[in-house]
Amino acid sequence: MHLLISVESLDEAVSIMATGVAIIDAKNTAEGALGAQFPSVTRDIVAAANRSGVRTSATLGDLPYKPGTAALAALGVASVGVKYVKAGLHGLNTHQQALEMMDAIRQAACMADENARVVASGYADWRSFGGLSPDNLVTAATDTQCHAVMLDTAVKNGRSLFEHMAVAELKSFVETAHAAGLCVGLAGSLRLDHADALLDLQPDIVGVRGAVCSDDTDRRSIISPRKVATFCRIFQALSTTSDVRSPATLQDHGPSVAQRY
């Protein structure tokens, strides 16, 4: 499992460069769960991360069903050099709408950078607002040749991913996405005491912010490098001791997850 830490500023990003974090994610929590950061901030984070050899991602926002608007956002994010372009599919609820959104986003991202990897992000609490189901998320991501799918939580009230979806549902989501050749990310108020459950689910990426903030009850407080280092150490240990899925299980669905990551 690779650890993704969401940051809101260049200072936060620089403070965790040497912790062992795999991916630094540019985000703006003032604008929602997957709030989009300003271009200049994202550009500076990417430049600093590149100098340190750390991969980057950036969110496009909790998006409404507006493929053209989303495509322009994707073009902008990909143009500053992020490796992973994350789109939060919030204001839609059908496979067809998700298909149109992700197709527009992927094409636009690839216009700026043919190597950009697009992540279709949904929400574990989708039932509470009539959002897109995880099944439709996976199908749309597969049909539009996205790189990955990710689940987060839309409402940040302290309730975690595991309080919105049963472990069996999450396991089905991860396994279905892996079978389709997609990388899988899980996020949503995750804490260290979720580590064993995450190990059982075997996502490729685990996303965290609130639990590594100086005040772990306030995801808008500043990130603590010490807490990030602790998370990195624990998740790196889990990654080396867990069983690795065989790439052969994905051979009928294109490159293995390990090859695509």
Return the pLDDT at 256. 35
Which residues of the chain fall below pLDDT 70?
Answer: 241-261
Please give the Cα distance from 146 to 67 (Å, whole number).
15
Contact 90, 64 (CB under 8 A): yes
Q: How many domains does the chain have?
A: 1
Return the pLDDT at 194. 93
Q: Which of 86, 156, 171, 227 is catalytic?
A: 86
Strand partners, 178: none
pLDDT tens figures, 172-184? 999 999 999 999 9
Contact 119, 149 (CB under 8 A): yes
Return the pLDDT at 241. 62
pLDDT tens figures, 217-245? 888 899 999 999 999 998 888 777 654 44
83 is annotated as an active-site residue: no
Please tell me the pTM assigned to this model.
0.90
27 is annotated as an active-site residue: yes
Residue 245, domain CATH: 3.20.20.380
The encoded tokens of residue 132 equal 């897109």
Q: Which of 27, 66, 156, 227 is catalytic?
A: 27
pLDDT tens figures, 17-35? 999 999 999 999 999 999 9
Give the type of residue at 105. Answer: I
Please give the Cα distance from 100 to 3 (Å, whole number).
30
Q: Among candidates 33, 19, 15, 1, which has minimal Cα distance to 209?
A: 33
Please give the Cα distance from 133 to 97 (Å, whole number).
12
Q: List helix spans (H) across 8-133.
A: 10-15, 39-52, 67-79, 95-112
Domain that holds residue 159: 2-260
Please give the Cα distance from 124 to 152 (Å, whole number).
6
Run of H or E residues at 25: strand 23-26
